[in-house]
Amino acid sequence: MFAGPDPEALAGLDAIVCPPYTRLADCVAAGLTTYAQNVHWEPEGAFTGEISAPMLVELGVTGSLVGHSERRQLFGETDEGVARRAEAALSAGLGVIACVGETLEQREADETEDVLRRQVTALPQDGRLVIAYEPVWAIGTGMTATPELAQDAHAFIKSLLDVPVLYGGSVKPDNAAGLFAQPDVDGALVGGASLDVDSFRAICQAADSPS
């Protein structure tokens, strides 16, 4: 599953775009499988600045990200809040990509499994739930987990919850194939690299024929 704009490169792949709220309707109208970048846990009420699951359904959006590392780090979202957002979206019939991952400090303190266990076990069990493992230290930094580190984290997450697990964290054309070759890496949550058509196409091709 990918965030990116090139339909021709997506044949045979399960591809999703996650644009800002202002472009959701455009992506839906273009025939793209469209997820929001976040969703609130209440169906209605006085929550200025939030968007509810019923609003997304009305737009034709089919799912949402929840718990992205930037939401956790910059906006103070908690495991409980992420779980509530996921539950609300799933109850409304939306798919959910729930993001989990440790900071550099937590990894260096050997707390990765404790952090992942806490974040993953807070999530609801549902057939429409997908988890994205995005180590915070590898997002927008140019650092990427080695394929072996990604595999270890993905295998651990799947031991807690039997769902597809995507890797997110500076995924680029030159590292995508190695990541996709790992048995428990089911796809990617692509950030900056999805904004360049050629870069995104190369990642899609790596996913379509992993080594």
Question: Which position among 68, 87, 102, 154 bears the catalytic label?
Answer: 68
Q: How far apart are CA 205 and CA 75, in angstroms?
A: 35
| Phi, psi dihedrals of residue 130, rounded to the nearest 5° | -125, 140
Terminal alpha carbon distance of the chain = 18
Q: How far apart are CA 73 and CA 110, in angstroms?
A: 20
Local structure of residue 166 (DSSP, 8 states): E
Q: How far apart are CA 115 and CA 105, in angstroms?
A: 11
Active site residue 154: no
Active site residue 134: yes
CA 174 to chain centre: 20
Q: How far apart are CA 3 and CA 49, in angstroms?
A: 23
User: Is 63 within 8 Å of 96 (Cβ atoms)?
Assistant: yes
| Phi, psi dihedrals of residue 87, rounded to the nearest 5° | -60, -40
Sheet holding 63-66, edge to edge: 35-36, 63-66, 95-100, 129-133, 165-167
Question: Which position among 77, 87, 102, 134 bears the catalytic label?
Answer: 134
Active site residues: 68, 134
